[in-house]
Structure 1
């Protein structure tokens, strides 16, 4: 859970999640939405993968990233249990 909150604490990573909400994208397509280096985007993607917020799948010579909604559903369920 700590990695999840750490990943969500950064505006760049939240924007990446917003982008992936619409469509699966390659790292290059994600990087095109930012004014930062590709290694920086790769670092953000790595943190999102470690938090299990995104999944990466090799398709040909590209790695395609998609949103992992399961972890978000688990987090929301946990938050709702705190409401008592």
Structure 2
């Protein structure tokens, strides 16, 4: 998991985009309808999400359809769970040593 993933997840609008794409693949226009943001701002969010490899795009004629990159989403979730498990194990060890 890279810093780019954490950067992408740090913004509420990008998390909303990911949530929408979790429901189904969507075009930029469909996503834009859900936001009151300038096209350039949304484009920037798409760029950050693509750089983190959290979303992928597929050209269908003149339209680009965005979807979640599930392999990266799954890797990210697994990495966060491992991180939390390590922290939990360290805390448990510390408590046992203090007893």
- The equivalences for 1:5-16 within 5 A come to 5-16=6-17
CA distance in 2, matches of 1:8, 1:29: 21
Provide the residue aligned with 1:72 in structure 2: 73
- Partner in structure 2 of residue 36 of structure 1: 37
Richer in helix (by share): 2
Any gaps of 5 or more consecutive residues in structure 1? Answer: none
Say which one has the larger Rg: 2
- 1:80 is displaced (CA, Å) by 2.8
Distance between the aligned counterparts of 2:24 and 2:76, measured in 1? 22
Native 8 Å contact 1:53 1:67 kept in 2? yes
How far apart in 2 are the matches of 1:81 and 1:36?
A: 35
Q: 1:36 to 1:80 in 2, by over 3 A?
A: closer
SS at structure 2 position matched to 1:36: coil
Q: How does the TM-score come out when normalised to structure 2?
A: 0.80
Structure 2: give runs of 5+ residues left out of the alignment. 87-99
Structure 2 residue 55 is the aligned partner of structure 1 residue 54: yes
Number of equivalenced pairs: 84
Contact kept in structure 2, 1:28 and 1:38, CA below 8 Å:
no
Find runs of 4+ consecutive structure 1 residues off by over 6 angstroms.
none
Instruction: Report the CA distance between 1:19 and its aligned residue.
Output: 0.5
The root-mean-square deviation of aligned C-alpha atoms, in Å, is 1.0
Give the TM-score, by structure 1 length: 0.93
